Amino acid sequence: MKSFFRIVLVMSVLAICASPALYGQARINTKKLKIADLPTRTTKVVLGSGDMMDSALRDEVAARWRISPYEFCTAEEYKALKEDSNYYFLLIARSEDKEYKDLLTLTLMKGGKSKSDDPQKRPVEVASLPISAAGFPSGREVVFLPALLDILQDYVTRAMRSDGAGYTGFDIYSGQVRKTGIKRIFFSEDDLVPDMDEDFKKRYFDDDMVIMSEDDADKAFQDGTYNTLVSFVVAPFDPQNGSWCYKMLIDAGTHELLYYRHHRINARNWAGFLPEDIKAIFARR
């Protein structure tokens, strides 16, 4: 019996001695602490595709990137540096994440080696925001890029303050729907599911919830129309059963993300704002 108590005592002492180290290790492994150095590290903005989006990214980053020092780099430089944990990388790329299959995302990554023994030197995906169908850009991603950059930076700032935000992702904005009630909302007609019938539209849309052409909606956004939200939907060009669709309402003036939802596409729920989305937004009016 005495031997038993000695064993228990020794184990208790070892646990007490080890706990600070274990606690420290747990703290080091949190996303918040892994990205705490972002404001002091250089973010490499990856360019090199030579297309219109490439040019827009250069211009908009120069105009509005504020959360870290930055430099532009080529795709070749990115490949050479991407395992260096001293750098962050901002790029537009086809995501390898199953959730973003067949989509392009605006992604902020911390460099690192995936097999490093040091948790601080492993790569970290800080944030990925879907912006268009892969291989079939609509042009709207260029119109909304200034806002998407602001939204990404707002989210990253939240993730640096809270692990809850860091691990929740952009779903943290889902509660913002409560703020849509005091805004006018312009929906591009192409952002609504095609089977939304006319009776439903007459019931839920009015002078403050307006359906218009994509060109008119985009112009309202580019003009920074006061107190107005504009719809933005991202889905694969040729969605398959189970593909994801992302729906956003973004303030044209402030670039706040006030509605963010996503759903799996299937025969009943196609790409676009669903009737249930419209009902949830209408309920706040």
In the chain, the number of structural domains is 2
174 shares its domain with 211: yes
pLDDT at 6: 44
What are the C-alpha distances in Å from 242 to residues 168, 234, 245, 248?
21, 14, 9, 19
- Return d(Cα 67, Cα 53) in angstroms, integer: 21
Are 65 and 138 within one domain?
yes
Q: Is residue 20 part of a domain?
A: no
Among residues 108, 143, 178, which one ends one of the domains?
143
Amino acid identity at 51: D
Q: Do 135 and 204 belong together in one domain?
A: no
Residue 107's domain spans which residues?
A: 34-143
Inside any domain, residue 247: yes
The reply to whether 188 and 237 lie within a common domain is yes
Q: Is residue 206 part of a domain?
A: yes
Question: Looking at the structure, do residues 53 and 96 belong to the same domain, yes or no?
Answer: yes
**Exposed, middle or buried: residue 270 (CB in 10 Å: 0-12, 13-18, 19+)?**
middle
Model pTM? Answer: 0.89
d(CA 143, CA 191) in angstroms, rounded, equals 15
Mark whether 110 and 214 lie in a shared domain: no
Tokens 């532009």 belong to residue: 72
Of 19, 73, 25, the C-alpha closest to 49 is 73
Query: Across-strand partners of 230?
Result: 186, 250
Q: Is residue 74 part of a domain?
A: yes
Whether 81 is in a domain gets the answer yes
Low-confidence ranges of the chain (pLDDT < 70): 1-28, 49-50
Q: What is the pLDDT of residues 167-187, one digit of tens each?
A: 999 999 999 999 999 999 999
Same structural domain, 119 and 175: no
Q: Can you tell me the distance from the alpha carbon of 107 to that of 89, in angstroms, rounded to the nearest whole number? A: 8
> What sections of the chain are H helices per DSSP?
2-28, 31-34, 52-64, 75-81, 140-161, 163-168, 198-204, 214-222, 275-282
Q: What is the DSSP string of 235-275?
A: --SS--TT-EEEEEEEETTT--EEEEEEEE--SSS-SSB-H
> Of 127, 143, 159, which residue sits at a domain end?
143
Q: What is the pLDDT of residue 123?
A: 95
pLDDT at 48: 81
Q: 212 with 250, same domain? A: yes
Write the pLDDT tens digit of every residue in 49-94: 668 899 999 999 999 999 999 999 999 999 999 999 999 999 998 8
pLDDT of residue 212: 98
Domain assignment present for 29: no
254 and 205 both lie in a single domain: yes
66 domain residue, yes or no: yes
Nearest partner of 249 among 194, 197, 184, judged by Cα: 184
Residues 110 and 178 in one domain: no
Q: What tokens were used for 97?
A: 């994440």
